[in-house]
Amino acid sequence: MPGNSRAAGTHHSRPSSSEEPPDLEDQELLLAAAYVSDAQYNRNVPFETSPQAIRLYHFYNHWTMRAATYFFIWVNLALALFEEPAVFPLPFLVTSIAEVLCLTAFFGRLVHFAKVTPQKVFWKDTKNICVMVTIVLTLIDLVIYGSLEAVNIRGVRWSRALRPVFLINFPESRQIRRTFRSIRNTLPDILYVFLLFLFSMMIFSLMALKLFGDRDLRTVEGSPYFTNILDIAFELYVLVTTANSPDVMMPAYELNWWYSLYFITYIIINTYIFMSVFLAVIYNNYRKHLKNEIHTLAYLKHHKMTEAFNILKVKVGTEFVVKEARWRRLVKVVAPDVSSSHLELLLRISDEGQKGHVDKVNFLRLADLLNIRVVAINIKKHPLETWMPRVYQSSTSLLVQKMVQHRQVRWSQIFVWVYDVIILINAIFIALDEKDSLISYAEWLFLSLYIIEILLKLYTYEPSAYFGRKQFWNWFDTLIIIAALLATVANTTIQARKYNSQQVLDIVLILRILRLLRVIVSIQRFRVIVTTLINIGPTMLTFGGLVLVVYYAFAIIGMEVFHGKIHFLDPGSGSPDALVCGNPALKDSAFAQGRYCKNNFNDLASSLILLTELTVVNHFALLADGFALVTHQAAKLYFIGFHVVVVILIVNIFIAFILEAFFVAYSLEKSEVETAIEKKIQELGVGVQEEEVQDGGLIDNMDAKDSGFSADEGDNKKKDLKGLYFRIASKKYKTVDTLLQQMFESEIAPEGKDPSLKEILNFSPKKVNFDNSA
Amino acid sequence: MPGNSRAAGTHHSRPSSSEEPPDLEDQELLLAAAYVSDAQYNRNVPFETSPQAIRLYHFYNHWTMRAATYFFIWVNLALALFEEPAVFPLPFLVTSIAEVLCLTAFFGRLVHFAKVTPQKVFWKDTKNICVMVTIVLTLIDLVIYGSLEAVNIRGVRWSRALRPVFLINFPESRQIRRTFRSIRNTLPDILYVFLLFLFSMMIFSLMALKLFGDRDLRTVEGSPYFTNILDIAFELYVLVTTANSPDVMMPAYELNWWYSLYFITYIIINTYIFMSVFLAVIYNNYRKHLKNEIHTLAYLKHHKMTEAFNILKVKVGTEFVVKEARWRRLVKVVAPDVSSSHLELLLRISDEGQKGHVDKVNFLRLADLLNIRVVAINIKKHPLETWMPRVYQSSTSLLVQKMVQHRQVRWSQIFVWVYDVIILINAIFIALDEKDSLISYAEWLFLSLYIIEILLKLYTYEPSAYFGRKQFWNWFDTLIIIAALLATVANTTIQARKYNSQQVLDIVLILRILRLLRVIVSIQRFRVIVTTLINIGPTMLTFGGLVLVVYYAFAIIGMEVFHGKIHFLDPGSGSPDALVCGNPALKDSAFAQGRYCKNNFNDLASSLILLTELTVVNHFALLADGFALVTHQAAKLYFIGFHVVVVILIVNIFIAFILEAFFVAYSLEKSEVETAIEKKIQELGVGVQEEEVQDGGLIDNMDAKDSGFSADEGDNKKKDLKGLYFRIASKKYKTVDTLLQQMFESEIAPEGKDPSLKEILNFSPKKVNFDNSA
């Protein structure tokens, strides 16, 4: 339905004949490539279709440009480490110049974007406005702060809290923005539950005031118990975090055990039920909004692929198709680093009948095809086999190889068992005291045993297969061992010179223990769980970004408000100030008595660590009280705000995400496109099962297959694939978007229906703005 | 497919002619009624089909028998309150006689059950074996303990920990058993995650030992920091509960802030990711197993209804049907308390064509039909209208009524607003100090205002409609106000006699504050959330049962192990023992310093409260340490065990359940059968919308409908329904089974397929035992 997609409002013009001057065709190709590339990476930015704009657009999306943007975003964020209050102090002049540089880079990126996108779209996009406003505000703040600095007045660098805006609002941060949007959409529903929760807290506060207020009870610290309604409300809020249980209950409980029922009721209703309801509401909304967004994304992808098809199509017989030559050029533009054998495989899948052209249905799959990483394995003989075949194929050598491969007969499992036992003994040795020289010499023994293991494996497996791109555990093993070897050597050298470097020793110790992780690999059930965790790892990083944004903003605010109020002084110094964290207001407080002075907002690192502690929630009240003592009772609002945003909102979204990801991982089937590719690979007889590679059975298997394959050697069509084996990269290492799309794949309308752009945008219940959903 | 179900192995014999002696027919009816009743209540106990056994079976399932069983179960559990260590001590003779009585009752119930169920089935059922073994063990324990008591040796009453077995293993506790089964089925999966978690903890423990062990660091209390691998493992386990954060990190953090990264990594991996994975695994398995069980239940129901149909069917024309007269008698036996109008409605739904008989499809729905509570509303005029129509219909009276109904015009909302404001002012008055006599007199004002409100409502609405069975909020309002009135009067009377009863005052205060909850009713969004919570309330009670079972067992064990080790002595007494909780081993411990002496295992109430505190997790380590000090370090295993069972397993299942229930509540549609009933009610013109009743618009609406209805008066068929209106009881107040079945309704095979009993039992992946799945 070309007319349909045409109506959706693209601006390019295309002559209907298939023969154009090469220059014109080049431009068409670039335009189509831009569409395909957008579809592949789920970019939803509308772009100008003039030849110059398309070239600029390709440049805009080039990885170097995106990497540079990220670099400046991170430099900008990292500036807080060097500004007052600093971990590593630098003069204001240096940091401000660095900041101006970053702002210039952001501005440049924005200008570049403005050149490739239609003016109207650009100015309607809140992202761009946000970035521009933030740049201007930061410059103003810099100027004011600089001027005040010049006359020696310390100003407030408030614009620093805005820095995460850049991380969120550049089109590169699609996932973080999606999560933010999902939070924003959940807010109304959360709000009502939260109000009800506050109402319930208020009711309980009133009850507590009436029940306990007049009894003249005292807390352990001797302060009055439950006499002030605001104090009660704060205590009860903290009880939701569980941080003051059971202390808050003890005075009443000591009076009469019936009163504990009040607290138990409160805990059941507000801590358990309400917190679960928060999770349920967040989870429910998270799923709903995510589904809508992914829905829209999938339709947009389809739309863009149709656009690309319409640009490149020619009529052959009754149907429109894309010629093979053009298709090849297109793929080369979209994915320049695709190997020619991979390209051949893709063509074979897309052009099933080998008619020399690709039809529409197959063309539309191209974006998905490109997203599936196919690993081309170049089957080579082991180098040793080539160099000295007789020795390598001798019966002793073969026995060693079979033992290492540990998949032939039962007794050959011995290799794995022996090494598991070695690791176990190693663990016991680590746990023992190592000052005994015998034990410290044993370390060298273990190290050499591990090195021997790696060498044996390299002897058995072809090295480039062993260190394949996706052989995570092989890489892990080898890197840990090499690093441990280097660090141990370094440590011994340093020690020999009577100079003990703690850092190097720490690294040695950690590496030595990380080696024990290898046990996981040999137990199948463990490997499954770990694989699932690694599977959802990249998506968890999105949350890392989200958490960073919130933490950073709170840290900057915290630093402005609480900076320098609490100091950590070495208690060994004997200074009386050390006992009150350098602030007399903390005298006799639980904060100072518990030696929490190190928890302060005096620099970015301390602030972030403190915020992490607050996220874990324990001693929440103690920490909040400490900072309220040195400033004002209102400071508690900062801590409650942090709790609501991070613990109630973000941690719940994190849990919701892990739940969802785990359910998907449990029920994950191969996608339709993946199945098609696999079928083709098998048909062509160039497939390798993933497990075979992982278990190291690659080489055995090759012998059997090789003969079957060579029978086809005369077939001209297959000559490009000769000597190569393919397999689909395993399910792990999926991109976030792929994983999410797969979650809702079944609910997306079947192929063949091409909705118009208008229809697409109406799919989501709230009218998603085309520009915003990028 | 009667042959099919016959093959499934029932034992009754039935002559194929439809005319039998009345006595024989009675027995058939009883047998069919037993099947239908089993299907209605999802009972899966096979029973003997001899006439006597069926009568016994009906008696076995009679509510008085079930209530008696529950009564004895609770008495048996409650005995722990009166036995040493007792809350209310009673001599051993009394409690042991009570226990023997309970055991006799349990045995009687078991013998009764053995009489109605086939011998083979009875002896293969682990539930029955469990109960018998527990009875025998308890008797043995009683005899041993009694003999030892006689010679003044204090024995261990270990069999008390077995008491929850009765709560679980009587067929009455289907839901609790199902949850237990669901936990048992989840265990293998949990186990692997748990092992991996322990492994990760071990790795981190080793790292901590190497990193911090040799630094000679000290904790705040001055004890060595991270020097012993077992201590480290315990500390790190506690860190997963967050109970010792950030204390556990402070010494290392003070040394160098880089070391905090170790703890943050640990918290992210073990506290956040692993705990979420536990939730994910539990949730996933919970759903899976629940689905299987419900699946089986639904098929069994279908099977039993088919059995009942086959017993009662006669051939009319080409198809088998059940005659109307027989159908009526069956329903009367199955549900004796169904009103004749309700029966008429059910018949009208089942016998659509009014042919005088019910066909198979409609007969099979009977169990579901009986489960749907249809409320018959007897539309009466307001009594006042009958007594003094002129006054009641006067314009002033009508104005009052309209204001109270608050649904006519905008200004009439004023009634609700006025009372919301009154409640608000009331809240402020409560928060203020009430020693001021003006304020304490205001309390009487508020009380009278609330009473006036209720009287006005009773004036407007017909009293029996206002106090309808499902008018939760009306009941709530009235009861709270009446109770507050009584308590206030009682309190004033007591005070007038210069005698201040704290208990009465407490009740007054709580009631006074609970009145504020009425605000929720007037805000629609709040009402929705609260309704959902009430909706899943009954199912949450299942969890109450589950938690009780586990708590009770742990409390009994705790009482045997830790009883009398820690005493709460009034600190005001000045005794030096009071500062160490009566145990010198606690000198200088955080336990004694924090005044936690009241947290002990000295009686059942204290134990349960302490276990609740441990569930909330905060100060978990402090409490565990305290008990380890007064007994042995191994005591910590008790606390870790409790944490694993309750916090990791049961709390997660609770959260999983709330999540699932909320998702269902969000997406709950009326079931197919409900829709059919509603359609019929509407067709017959006797329907009342639920909202109308709730908003109190019942009476207005009646006038309009009454006229329409009277037109049909001549219709003979409808004469039984005259003057009655029906509505389906609202979605809330569903039974647990109904809710769960509805969750998975869509996945149950469509009607018409009658699987055999064998097939049914093979549906669940693990072969569910027919006897066990009851």
**How distant, in Å, are the alpha carbons of A49, A329, B723 from that of A332?**
20, 5, 81
DSSP secondary structure string, B115-170? Answer: HHS-HHHHHH-HHHHHHHHHHHHHHHHHHHHHHHHHTT-----GGGGGTHHHHHHS
Nearest beta carbon to residue A260 from set B257, B513, B609: B609
User: From CA B320, how far away is CA B309, in angstroms rounded?
Assistant: 9
Residues 6+ apart with CB under 8 A from A452: none
Task: Tell which of B612, B650, B660 to mutate to test the A interface (max A CBs under 10 Å).
Answer: B612
* % of chain B at pLDDT higher than 90: 9
Question: If you count residue pairs, one on A and one on B, with CB atoms under 8 Å apart, how many are there?
Answer: 199
| pLDDT for res A743 | 56
**Contact between B653 and B290 (Cβ < 8 Å):** no
Residue B517 to residue A192, Cβ atoms within 8 A: no
* Residue listed under structure tokens 């994983």: A739
DSSP secondary structure string, B389-451? Answer: HHHHTSHHHHHHHHHHHT-SSGGGGHHHHHHHHHHHHHHHHHHS-S-SHHHHHHHHHHHHHHH
Helix (H, G, I), strand (E, B) or coil at A726: strand
Token pair of B67 as six digits? 């209530």
User: From CA A578, how far away is CA B28, in angstroms rounded?
Assistant: 89
User: From CA A708, how far away is CA A222, in angstroms rounded?
Assistant: 86
Query: Would an 8 Å CB–CB cutoff place A594 in contact with chain B?
Result: yes
Q: Return the closest-CA partner of residue A232 out of A261, A260, A257, A203.
A: A203
Q: Is B209 a residue whose pLDDT tops 80?
A: yes
Q: Classify domain B386-522 by CATH architecture.
A: Up-down Bundle (1.20)
pLDDT digits (tens, 9 = 90+) for A2-26: 434 333 344 444 444 444 455 667 8
* Residue listed under structure tokens 């995400």: A657
| pLDDT for res B157 | 85
Q: Is B769 a residue whose pLDDT tops 60?
A: no
Task: Tell which of B276, B530, B551, B595 to mutate to test the A interface (max A CBs under 10 Å).
Answer: B276
Of the pLDDT bands very low, low, confident and very high (cuts 50, 70, 90), residue B409 is low
Q: Return the closest-CA partner of residue A470 out of A728, A740, A725, A742.
A: A728
User: From CA A225, how far away is CA A247, in angstroms rounded?
Assistant: 11
Query: Which amino acid appears at position A254 of this protein?
Result: E
**Contact between B183 and B289 (Cβ < 8 Å):** no
Residue with the bigger pLDDT between B351 and B661: it is: B351
**Contact between A242 and B617 (Cβ < 8 Å):** yes
Q: Is B682 a residue whose pLDDT tops 60?
A: yes
pLDDT digits (tens, 9 = 90+) for B607-649: 998 998 888 888 888 888 889 888 888 888 999 999 999 888 8
- Tell me what the pLDDT averaged over chain B comes to: 77
Residue B267 to residue A598, Cβ atoms within 8 A: no
Nearest beta carbon to residue B257 from set A284, A533, A605: A605
| pLDDT for res A71 | 92
CATH 1.10.287.70 fits A536-670, yes or no: yes
Is beta strand B374-378 parallel, antiparallel or unpaired with respect to B724-728?
A: antiparallel
Q: Is B118 a residue whose pLDDT tops 50?
A: yes
* Residue listed under structure tokens 């109270």: B404
How many CA within 13 A on the CB side of residue B159?
22
ipTM greater than cut 0.85: no
**Contact between A580 and A592 (Cβ < 8 Å):** yes
**Contact between B597 and B581 (Cβ < 8 Å):** yes
Vertex B680: Cα angle to B674 and B684 (nearest 5): 145
Is beta strand A314-316 parallel, antiparallel or unpaired with respect to A319-323?
A: antiparallel
Residues in B touching A509 (Cβ below 8 Å):
207, 210-211
How many CA within 13 A on the CB side of residue A485?
14
- Tell me what the pLDDT averaged over chain A comes to: 77
User: From CA B366, how far away is CA B96, in angstroms rounded?
Assistant: 47
| pLDDT for res A42 | 78
Q: Return the closest-CA partner of residue A300 out of A768, A736, A761.
A: A761
Nearest beta carbon to residue A663 from set B253, B284, B568: B284
Tell me the Ramachandran region of residue B685: left when phi exceeds 0, alpha when psi lies from -120 to 50, beta otherwise: left
**How distant, in Å, are the alpha carbons of A409, A697, A704, B270, B668 from that of A701?**
16, 6, 5, 40, 54
Token pair of A56 as six digits? 């600029």
Q: What are the φ/ψ torsions at residue A687 (nearest 5 degrees)?
A: -90, 150
What is the 3-state composition of chain B as percent helix, strand, coil, each rounded to the nearest 5? 70, 5, 25
Residues 6+ apart with CB under 8 A from A765: A292
Which parts of chain A have pLDDT scores under 50? 1-20, 688-723, 730-736, 749-755, 760, 762-774
Task: Tell which of A226, A514, A616 to mutate to test the B interface (max B CBs under 10 Å).
Answer: A616
Residue B655 to residue A431, Cβ atoms within 8 A: no
Token pair of B145 as six digits? 């303990």
pLDDT digits (tens, 9 = 90+) for A704-715: 333 333 333 334
| Domain positions in chain B | 46-170, 179-288, 294-382+672-684+721-763, 386-522, 536-670
Residues in A touching B207 (Cβ below 8 Å):
509-510, 513
pLDDT digits (tens, 9 = 90+) for B126-149: 888 999 999 999 999 999 998 998
Q: How far is A400 from chain B (nearest CA, A)?
A: 31
| pLDDT for res B75 | 93
Helix (H, G, I), strand (E, B) or coil at B746: helix
Token pair of A412 as six digits? 């050959």
Closest chain B residue to the Cα of A275, Cα to Cα: B655
- Residue B585: other Cβ atoms inside 10 A: 16
Residues 6+ apart with CB under 8 A from A317: none
Closest chain A residue to the Cα of B283, Cα to Cα: A659
Q: How far is B565 from chain A (nearest CA, A)?
A: 18
**Contact between B589 and B629 (Cβ < 8 Å):** yes
Closest chain B residue to the Cα of A427, Cα to Cα: B206
User: From CA B733, how far away is CA B725, in angstroms rounded?
Assistant: 20
Helix (H, G, I), strand (E, B) or coil at A231: helix
Residues in A touching B616 (Cβ below 8 Å):
242, 245-246, 267, 271
Query: Would an 8 Å CB–CB cutoff place A595 in contact with chain B?
Result: yes
Query: Would an 8 Å CB–CB cutoff place B676 in contact with chain A?
Result: no
pLDDT digits (tens, 9 = 90+) for B713-746: 334 444 444 445 555 554 444 444 555 565 555 5
User: From CA B407, how far away is CA A208, in angstroms rounded?
Assistant: 37
Q: How far is B614 from chain A (nearest CA, A)?
A: 9
| pLDDT for res B666 | 65
User: From CA B325, how far away is CA B327, in angstroms rounded?
Assistant: 5
Q: Classify domain A179-288 by CATH architecture.
A: Orthogonal Bundle (1.10)
Closest chain B residue to the Cα of A599, Cα to Cα: B250
| pLDDT for res A712 | 38
Residues 690-719 of B with CB under 8 A from A: none
User: From CA A608, how far away is CA A615, in angstroms rounded?
Assistant: 10
Domains A179-288 and A536-670 equal at CATH topology level: yes
User: From CA B658, how far away is CA A277, in angstroms rounded?
Assistant: 7
How many CA within 13 A on the CB side of residue B629?
20
Closest chain A residue to the Cα of B190, Cα to Cα: A529
Query: Would an 8 Å CB–CB cutoff place B192 in contact with chain A?
Result: yes
| pLDDT for res A767 | 36
Query: Which amino acid appears at position A125 of this protein?
Result: D
Residues 6+ apart with CB under 8 A from A552: A77, A80, A161, A163, A164
| pLDDT for res B629 | 87
Q: Is B580 a residue whose pLDDT tops 90?
A: no
**Contact between A544 and A538 (Cβ < 8 Å):** no
| pLDDT for res B641 | 92
User: From CA B689, how far away is CA A189, in angstroms rounded?
Assistant: 27
Q: Is B14 a residue whose pLDDT tops 50?
A: no
User: From CA A34, how far away is CA A64, in angstroms rounded?
Assistant: 17
Q: How buried is B368 (Cβ within 10 angstroms: 0-12 exposed, 13-18 middle, 19+ buried)?
A: buried
- Residue A700: other Cβ atoms inside 10 A: 16
* Helix B437-460 / helix B472-496 crossing angle, nearest 10 deg: 140
User: From CA A624, how far away is CA A630, in angstroms rounded?
Assistant: 10
Residue B513 to residue A203, Cβ atoms within 8 A: yes
What is the distance in angstroms between the CA of the first residue and the CA of the last residue of chain B?
25
Q: How far is B598 from chain A (nearest CA, A)?
A: 6
Residues in A touching B516 (Cβ below 8 Å):
203, 206
Q: How many helices (H) and strands (E) does chain A have?
A: 37, 5
DSSP secondary structure string, A347-378? Answer: HHHHSTT-SSEEEHHHHHTHHHHHHSPEEEEE
Q: Is B693 a residue whose pLDDT tops 60?
A: no
Token pair of A356 as six digits? 């020399």
Residues 457-516 of A with CB under 8 A from B: 506, 509-510, 512-514, 516
Residues 566-585 of A with CB under 8 A from B: 568
**Contact between A159 and A553 (Cβ < 8 Å):** no
Residue B207 to residue A510, Cβ atoms within 8 A: yes
